[in-house]
């Protein structure tokens, strides 16, 4: 698990429109600069927003990546709910401090 | 001169970004409350507005996270988010580095605050300014309390920080307004977005209105997490305003849970006059 690296990549991406263009054109050219697990790389590339949530990415970071990837707000919320169904409880990060299942 | 205005308000990105999805009465009544807050702010003729916010990984990250930071820039750009996503056009906002410097220097007497000459506003500041200084013609001094990436500063330190800000304002000749922005209970940007604990919010707001220091500092992070969600950690911004206006009561002008805005929408103004 390299949650810090995943979040760092998304943090850099969110605040840098030029990096977003580079990333969307050639994901690997950006991903190679971060120490990521295969699961994280797959989730980022797909993109599997639900899995990124389960891996522990903070929603304040993830919601912008979802928007960059074209998710409308309800789709973003649904992707996280689907992620919990498909991949189980949140595994790391801020949201794991409760049961990781979400509050609703 | 010291403080001429103090208050609190919500800053959730849905307030502007998802306005088209909201019930018209929810939206209009809340926007009206923001308009009234702007009018109350404007009549005090402030020279600068300090915005005590809780930013969301726009400038600060877990590689170097300050518990407290004050902006010292000539100007600031915001919002950092996609303007279309947030529903607010990107613009430059004037700063006041000279006043910032004096405030920072005075706050450092009591709290080891970080400073930054570079700062991109996210929704935590851009949403309040959209309503409160829509012409972007008032000098803004951004202030951040880390409410996002634990370990977080304890509440009694947020109080000390608010007191330190007040001392700094008291020593400045300028007419200074201050607002705290944040959610009370909310679970933003998670599968639970839209969940709001109204009872918890109303209890907190009663204590905030009464400037009840003991009650306000009694919230443990574990309890806040359980009852108020991770967004509840932003009560630090409200508490800093209470500390900056210690001994004064405040009025909650608006409170309504609006799930599509993902927060109990709040406007509160401190009664600074005798
Ligand atoms: Fe926030």
Residue A25 lies in a domain: yes
pLDDT higher than 50, residue A42: yes
Q: Is A37 buried (19+), middle (13-18) or exposed (0-12) by CB count in 10 A?
A: middle
Q: Provide the residue range defining the domain that includes A25.
A: 3-87
Is A80 in contact with B190 (Cβ distance < 8 A)?
A: yes
Instruction: Tell me how crowded residue A65 is: count the other CB atoms within 10 A of its CB.
Output: 23
Q: Please give the tally of structural domains in chain A.
A: 1
Contact B195, A104 (CB under 8 A): yes
Q: How far is CA B256 from CA B133, B228, B263, in A?
A: 23, 15, 9
In a mutagenesis test of the B interface, which of A4, A69, A73 is the best target, namely the one with the most B β-carbons within 10 Å?
A73
pLDDT higher than 70, residue A100: no
Helices H / strands E in chain B, number of each: 10, 10
pTM beyond 0.90: the answer is yes
The reply to whether A65 touches chain B by the CB within 8 Å rule is no
pLDDT per residue over A78-97, tens digit each?
A: 999 999 999 999 999 988 75
pLDDT per residue over B144-182, tens digit each?
A: 999 999 999 999 999 999 999 999 999 999 999 999 999
Which residues on A lie below 8 Å from B192 (Cβ)?
Answer: 102-104
**Interface predicted TM-score (ipTM) of this complex, two decimals:** 0.92
Q: What residues contact B144, with CB distance under 8 A and at least 6 apart?
A: B52, B53, B54, B55, B59, B60, B66, B68, B69, B70
| Phi, psi for B270 (deg, rounded to 5) | -80, 140
| Cα distance between residue B63 and residue B22, in whole Å | 37
Residue A15 lies in a domain: yes
Residue A31 lies in a domain: yes
Residue A95 lies in a domain: no
CATH at A52? 1.10.700.10
pLDDT means per 10 residues in chain B (274 residues)?
A: 93 97 97 98 98 97 97 97 95 98 98 98 98 98 96 98 98 98 94 94 98 98 93 98 98 97 97 90
Structural domains in chain B plus CATH codes: 3-254 (3.40.830.10)
Q: How far is CA B63 from CA A60, A64, B11, B100, in A?
A: 16, 20, 25, 25
Give percent of chain A above pLDDT 90.
Answer: 88
Residue A103 lies in a domain: no
Residue A101 lies in a domain: no
pLDDT higher than 50, residue A104: no
Residue A14 lies in a domain: yes
């Amino acid at each position: 698990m390299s949650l810090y690296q995943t979040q760092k990549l998304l943090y850099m991406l969110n605040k840098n429109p030029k990096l977003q263009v580079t990333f969307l054109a050639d994901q690997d050219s950006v991903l190679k600069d971060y120490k990521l697990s295969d699961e994280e790389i797959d989730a980022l590339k797909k993109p599997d927003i639900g899995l990124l949530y389960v891996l522990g990415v903070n929603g304040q970071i993830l919601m912008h990546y979802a928007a960059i990837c074209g998710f409308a707000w309800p789709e973003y919320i649904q992707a996280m709910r689907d992620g919990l169904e498909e991949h189980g409880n949140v595994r790391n990060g801020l949201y794991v401090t409760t049961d990781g299942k979400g509050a609703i | 001169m010291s403080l001429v205005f103090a208050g609190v308000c919500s800053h959730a990105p849905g307030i502007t970004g998802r306005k088209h999805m909201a019930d018209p009465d929810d939206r209009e009544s809340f926007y009206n409350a923001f308009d009234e807050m702007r009018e109350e702010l404007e009549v005090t003729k402030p020279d600068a507005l300090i915005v005590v916010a809780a930013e969301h990984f726009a400038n600060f990250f877990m590689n170097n996270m300050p518990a407290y930071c004050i902006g010292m820039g000539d100007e600031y750009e915001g919002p950092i988010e996609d303007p279309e996503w947030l529903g607010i056009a990107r613009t430059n906002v004037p700063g006041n580095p000279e006043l910032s410097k004096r405030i920072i220097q005075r706050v450092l007497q009591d709290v080891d605050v970080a400073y930054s000459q570079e700062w991109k506003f996210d929704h935590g500041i851009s949403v309040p300014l959209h309503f409160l200084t829509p012409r972007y013609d008032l000098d803004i001094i951004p202030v951040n309390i880390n409410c996002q990436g634990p370990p977080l500063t304890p509440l009694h330190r947020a109080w000390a920080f608010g007191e330190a800000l007040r001392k700094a304002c008291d020593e400045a000749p300028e007419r200074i307004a201050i607002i705290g922005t944040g959610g009370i209970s909310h679970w933003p940007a998670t599968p639970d977005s839209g969940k709001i604990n109204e009872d918890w919010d109303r209890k907190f707001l009663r204590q905030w209105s009464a400037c009840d220091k003991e009650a306000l500092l009694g919230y443990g992070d574990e309890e806040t997490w359980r009852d108020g969600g991770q967004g509840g950690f932003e009560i630090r911004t409200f508490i800093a305003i209470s500390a900056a206006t210690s001994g004064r009561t405040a009025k909650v002008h608006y409170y309504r849970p609006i799930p599509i805005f993902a927060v109990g929408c709040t406007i509160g103004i401190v009664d600074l006059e005798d």
